[in-house]
Amino acid sequence: MKKKLISVLLAVLLLLSCMSASISAFATTRPIQLDVKVTNILDGAGDMNWYTFTPVASGTYSFLSYNVPASEAYLFVKEKDPETGKKVYKQLEFSNSDPNYQENGHNILQFCLTYYLEKGVTYYYAAGWSFDYTIDKATAMTVMLRCDEYYEKIVESIELSCPAVLSAYVDGNWAKDPSGLYSYFYYDISKIIANMKITVNYADGRTSTVIGKDQIDGYDILFKHTQSENHWYPQETPEYTANTLTIKIADASVDFDVPIKINAMYAVTGTIVDTNGDPVENARILNNATNSLITTTDSNGSYYFATNSGQLSITISGESVLSRQVLMTIGSQQSGNDFAPIEVVNLDYVNDGTINAKDLVHIIKNFSGSELESKQQDFNEYINFDKSDYPSLSLTAQ
């Protein structure tokens, strides 16, 4: 038997064809924003979460769930009871599954509650499981509210300007594509958003301007950008495909071409090896100036990245790698810069910054045969070694 708010009160509401009934909301009522997925633990009212929303424009809105277990939702408004004079909840709509789940990218058991909402009216959504889900009451539910259609034109146009410019291979970090095989540079656009001047020209003739905000006149400003293995290339390169940031406000949107400044770039290659000369896989190379990841080594211990000429201070780190700082001098060779192998001590298994007895215990527990003997010999050579024991290392291209 469902332990739901609806088991008694909403059953009555359904039978009475949406007549007003008093409901006590035992759960926390949270405000919800458009187009933002929200995840919360089910926290009361018969395993239901409550959300409140007051639209700034009339239109058709959809309330959706994003969970595997079957879920359902209810929509209410508060109205004054003519007999008692008290405000009570009136049910407007119910949904226990999404008939258009494929269009919404859903599982068939998810809900999509669609209803016309009026500007300025406060609505209450309740979301929970559509069956007794007492096995794990701590299970979280993810929901989102979207506007499918505004019933009046709100924004006539959006004007954008931004003095900020991203620097290639500086304002962001290196990332891997979904396959984990290829690296690309993921740009951090927060500098653009923080400096962006947005002017909204409304259909009724009003005009408003904000700088570095995520709301304007109560409307959420949505910044949409897709960065993946399809790298945001600088405009000066042949691979350029437009560095697009889409800004959406109410029923209007506009694209902004993000400027990326690039100087001459030069390839940097080399390898990271351990004290036996064996390659170190997944070693991380960090830019000390920006404290950001540049790249990681492959299964051969090899690395590749592109950067400007001049000096570059880096730190080599990684699982069991005792971190080491290196100063590189990048030359302006068209053929690129190939550096000698960088040697690191790869015995810090407990990651405490020094080679000690804890690492020896790890070696004894996890290695055997000739590999165990080799690791023990390495340990004996580097016992009590820490990163300050590395000799300073300044490299120029070979």
Q: Residue 318 has what pLDDT?
A: 93
> 11 pLDDT exceeds 60?
no
Residues 393, 324: contact at Cβ < 8 Å? Answer: yes
Q: What is the pTM of this model?
A: 0.46
- CA 60 to chain CA centroid, Å, is 28
Contacts of 185 (CB under 8 A, 6+ apart): 168, 169, 172, 173, 174, 175, 231, 232
Strand order through the sheet with 292-296: 292-296, 284-287, 310-318, 321-330, 394-396
Dump pLDDT digits (tens) for 68-89: 778 899 999 999 888 888 888 9
> 248 pLDDT exceeds 80?
yes
CB atoms within 10 A of CB 113: 23
Residue 4: pLDDT band with limits 50, 70, 90 = very low
The single-letter code of the amino acid at 90 is K
Nearest CA-CA partner of 52 in 71, 78, 72: 78
Q: Find where tokens 């004007």 sit.
A: 159
Reduce the DSSP state of residue 92 to 3 states and report it. Answer: strand
> 1 pLDDT exceeds 60?
no
Q: Residue 131 has what pLDDT?
A: 67
Dump pLDDT digits (tens) for 101-146: 888 888 888 899 999 999 899 999 999 887 655 545 557 889 999 9
Average pLDDT of the residues in 163-170: 82
> 25 pLDDT exceeds 70?
no
> 149 pLDDT exceeds 70?
yes
Q: Find where tokens 């007895």 sit.
A: 357
Q: Residue 166 has what pLDDT?
A: 87
Residues 41, 47: contact at Cβ < 8 Å? Answer: no
Q: Residue 19 has what pLDDT?
A: 36
Reduce the DSSP state of residue 1 to 3 states and report it. Answer: coil
Q: What span, in angstroms and rounded, lies between the C-alpha atoms of 92 and 117?
A: 10
Residues 266, 308: contact at Cβ < 8 Å? Answer: yes
- CA 141 to chain CA centroid, Å, is 18
Q: Find where tokens 């004054």 sit.
A: 80
Q: Residue 230 has what pLDDT?
A: 54
The tokens of 292 are what?
């950001």
Average pLDDT taken over every residue of the chain: 83
Average pLDDT of the residues in 223-238: 67
